[in-house]
Amino acid sequence: MVGLVPAGSAWGGRALAVLGVTLLVALARGLLPFFLGGRDLLWGQSGEASVLGVVEESRRVVDGAIQHTVRRDLSKRGLPSPSQLLSFSKLPEPTSRAVSRAAEIMEASVQAVRTRVYGKLGRSWPLTDTLPEAVLDTIANASGCRPHMLPPRCPDTCLARKYRLITGACNNRDHPRWGASNTALARWLPPAYEDGISEPRGWNPHVLYSGFPLPPVREVTRQVIRVPNEAVTEDDQYSDLLTVWGQYIDHDVAFTPQSASGAAFGAGADCQLTCENRSPCFPIQIITLRDYVPKVLGPEAFQQHVGPYEGYDPTMDPTVSNVFSTAAFRFGHATVHPLVRRLDARFQEHPGLPPLRLQDAFFSPWRLLKEGGLDPLLRGLLASPAKLPVQEQLMNEELTERLFVLGSSGSLDLASINLQRGRDHGLPGYNAWREFCGLGRLHTRAELRSAVANATLAGRIMDLYGHPDNIDVWLGGLAEPLLPRARTGPLFACLIGRQMKALRDGDRFWWESSGVFTDEQRRELARHSLSRVICDNTGLPSVPADAFQVSRFPQDFEPCENIPGLNLDVWREALPQGDACGLPDSLDNGDVVLCGEAGRRVLVFSCRHGFKLQGPEQVACSPRGGAVRAPVCRDINECEDASHPPCHGSARCRNTKGGFRCECTDPAVLGEDGTTCVDSGRLPKASLVSIALGIVLVVGLAGLTWTLVCR
């Protein structure tokens, strides 16, 4: 399903937890025991003003943290650190950044209010208590969270009824935010946070779970997950392309940008400079459903959890779930091979392009230009086996010891990131998800040993976690033995299958849905394949019939002319003879499209980003012909939006045609986010001019004095 791009990562667990949990509590009816002890202290005659003051103070703290992050990144002119590379790769676009900022302001405000109230009462905050509905409503409105939770305006035009919006919004007309970008990840189970709001499990060392502390994630990597590169077992069935396709799909449907304020809030720590647990630090598609998912789940689990298509289900929520995005679909990290293989035209090791270690391939796009282009890499993906996700070989050292290494400034550990991400997102433990999928809870070491069918692995896990309830769901899912003809165990097959079924059945525009395509068009789409895509977009003259099967050259390869293609003629729409619709030549700063439905033809008008339509969105064609009076596209002055200013307070906003520009006063310059001014570390240009003029004046006076003395 296109357009499902939820917002958050480090932010997803903290900020979206507030949007998805705290706001739901705010809208719930009924007040909890909070009123009995602290209502009058907070919500008297000046209560609202007091809360608004807290929100404004939190806004300054969050904006200060964002500015500190931008300033820090700008000041590092050398090779970026691994954590900076990860941050840059998840830098949110403007809309996601606005949602992130509002959510962080709300979280900081909720924390501040509860601390003040219970501080006055002289007791600690009970985890079962929440703030009154009126207080949360005020915080939601003042922080800017509320607009991002309201249903979007859905266009009622011929085009909108035939084609999806790029954001995924309005796919479901009754629930227009289902499956849309910049919305919270779905919760299939209630979140598990130590403070009930946002603190990850394991945050406080004194908190015990079933009598045991949670192990540090790095220790789990060291003792259970990592394996030397040379020890990996290669997959005898599936190629590296299966792994790469999974990565592409994951970033399409479940990409979550990192928090804009990676720096500290108030007295918090800079996550790049400390190892402490101090806030906020802690260590689509036909091809997908038909060709990829059955190989991952295995045929039996695919039939059980996905099954045949039975039509669009408007009660099915296609929103990507937290557990799918954060844990289950990251099974693919266990299939990543430590080497990037590049092959010549005969699919042999290229004499001038030896295999690359992953650490030498990360953030190195120059290799495409200077080392043979794309085709050697594609040959390697098609003819090289993926890593087999063996229980004793869960993740290679390129990912656990050398992730994103460009210099000598350290590295990241992908396994530890995955484990901590699950805790940060508030995912319940392994047992809770087993029960969710009907697999039954595990209570003892013996039961875990039976479930994973590996006594050594079960022993290592229990030595670290103490009880099956405590096991992180990502690790538990990876530890299970693979199902027949699958690359996942029972738990991940359930969670991935459930998500894929939701993406398919909850999509009003799914290709098999009645009325989306004609029978002839569906037949053409069913013939299409990833192999055909490779033929059409690369220089390879032959490909395997199934690109995901590891293949031997030349016996497993077919010439591209034998791979069925897509006949686009079945989508050709001819204008009726004597069509009387007067199509305007153009629409300044917008577009006009002729659309037909229910026996009538209409013109649909739309404006480009940064412009607003003035006039009707849709005009019916006149049966007598004649020119249609088109609406106009007016520029939106983003700088006039006082409630959501596009630029940080340190910058001034200048409206431009179709957009805006944030400007800084010299010597400040714009940071990476394009909206915040930071110190450039140099003198103002005016000062440089003054210094230059001063030097000229001094030199001139010295020369004049020397001349007079000589005379």
Q: Report the b/e string of 97-133 with b at 16+ CB within 10 A.
A: bbbbbbbbbbbbbbbbbbebbbeeeeeebeeebbbbb
For residue 204, give both structure tokens: 């406080």
* C-alpha to C-alpha distance for 184 and 186, rounded to whole angstroms: 6
Q: Which of 251, 350, 644, 648 is catalytic?
A: 251
Residue 561 DSSP class = G
Q: Interhelix angle for 133-143 vs 94-121, to 10°?
A: 140
Of 1, 475, 485, whose CA–CA distance to 249 is shortest? 1
Distances (CA, A) of 516 to 162, 511, 571, 586: 7, 6, 12, 28
Beta bridge partners of 239: 385
Instruction: Give Cα separations from 482 to 307, 391, 399, 550 (angstroms).
Output: 20, 9, 22, 19
In 24-88, which ranges are E strands? none
Asked if residue 481 lies in contact with residue 331, where contact means CB atoms within 8 angstroms, the answer is no
Q: How far apart are the C-alpha atoms of 264 and 249, rounded to whole Å?
A: 33
Which residues have a Cβ under 8 Å from the Cβ of 323 and sit 6 or more positions away?
188, 189, 427, 433, 473, 495
Q: Which of 377, 379, 416, 374 is nearest to 394 (CA)?
A: 416
Q: What does DSSP say about strands 395-396 and 226-227: parallel, antiparallel, or unpaired?
A: parallel
Is 68 considered catalytic here? no
* Two tokens, residue 703: 């020369």
Contacts of 696 (CB under 8 A, 6+ apart): none
Q: Tokens 């003054």 map to which residue? A: 690
Residues 195, 449 contacting (CB under 8 angstroms): no
Catalytic positions:
251
